[in-house]
Structure 1
């Protein structure tokens, strides 16, 4: 009975790990005949990113081509390709923030929109586990445990990243509250000074006119 319970707990933990680590996603985009469509992903520092994209023609009698451009949060150009039906970009992040991938149609003889499939992988999903298995001569359960170990490390890094972002947001909130409080006090002080000057001016005016 104890063994069954332990086995069930292990399966639940593995399932939880795999659910928490969102490292791969397939995206479908329909590009208009003119204009640009972009996808973005918030990624922390020192993470491997690998993505493949391919044009899916609605009519196989013609082959539309697209352009792609990937930029970092600070605007650095990481990938650019023109007049292509497919492509791939791979890089390791050196900046934390939103990475932007934009696509637009270069040539579409058939007119209309163009469908693009993007397979975007980050972190552990972008790792070449076949090469790891060959290099370290591991397979089966040991390889799966290595993958889970990588997933745990990814979760830990994500938690640290989120903790850091929370700390930054808290600091920004505290600074904003302090500035609002200072501005409120200054506004109150200005109002009191202006009111005092108005009373003094009115009193002087009435005294001069001998009304009081």
Structure 2
């Protein structure tokens, strides 16, 4: 299975309900919510109240990416607000194992995130305790950035680690995903694709943005034995 997670970081917040419903009608699988505190990354975005708002709008899984310091202090609030998936960074989180356990104990799925400059080996010790690995293909903080193609080899390395130690876990990729690179990302080993600008800022609208990503992936699946084996 492949999943498309629509990141509302690029949505029009003056019409958030309509934007999310359009994405849902377009067939996206999850809604991705980027939470930034202005310290861990140089931007400030959403908190639990946005997650709660999204939960009222849609029944789709809410995929929450915490780019914040001391995420362990906020897990309960995000799960209570309706998060189904909660992902935290390996960078700067000395209690990462305990925090992953907390996420799962509260009934949500736990994800671990790596920035582009963080090697895949950094997460080996926590792989048995996660449900998802999120590989960043841009430096986190802002939408609309250019995909860093050098990260493709890291996605492949993480895919191998997952297959060996926790094959039920999902490999998610976020950052500059578009119709031109989504197939290469799938071939590298990804199961889930986060897209913000490619969906919510598509010139022909949200439905066309989601459709173009699906079509690019489906076209490559017909041609690539590697993708066919996983799909």
TM-score by length of 2: 0.24
Larger strand percent = 1
Higher-RCO chain (CA-CA 8 Å, sequence separation at least 6): 1
Structure possessing the higher radius of gyration over alpha carbons: 1
